[in-house]
Amino acid sequence: MKFSKQHSMYESDHTLFIKSLKEKNPAIEEGQRLGRALLWDKAPLSLDEQERQLESAVKQQAYVYQNKV
């Protein structure tokens, strides 16, 4: 979908807010990268470690909040 030239320079209030926030504090992006690395970017597991984790997993019942009677 193409926009006319009138709308090509439009920036939403949210975009303007984020841009101004990043201008005031340029370290935000580096903090985001560090947070992502901390939570998501994990080193790959060796095959032995993967096998150990699979063997040590505890089986769960289908609905964990219901006690077996």
69 within some domain: no
Q: Is the pLDDT of residue 15 over 60?
A: yes
- Model-level pTM? 0.46
Domain count, the chain: 1
Q: For residues 33 and 39, give the distance between their C-alpha atoms in angstroms, rounded to a whole number.
A: 10
pLDDT digits (tens, 9 = 90+) for 20-68: 999 999 999 999 999 999 988 888 989 999 999 999 998 888 887 877 7
26 within some domain: yes
The 3-class secondary structure across 5-60, one letter per residue, is HHHHCCCCHHHHHHHHHHHHCCCHHHHHHHHHHHHCCCCCCCHHHHHHHHHHCCCC
Domain limits at 45?
10-56
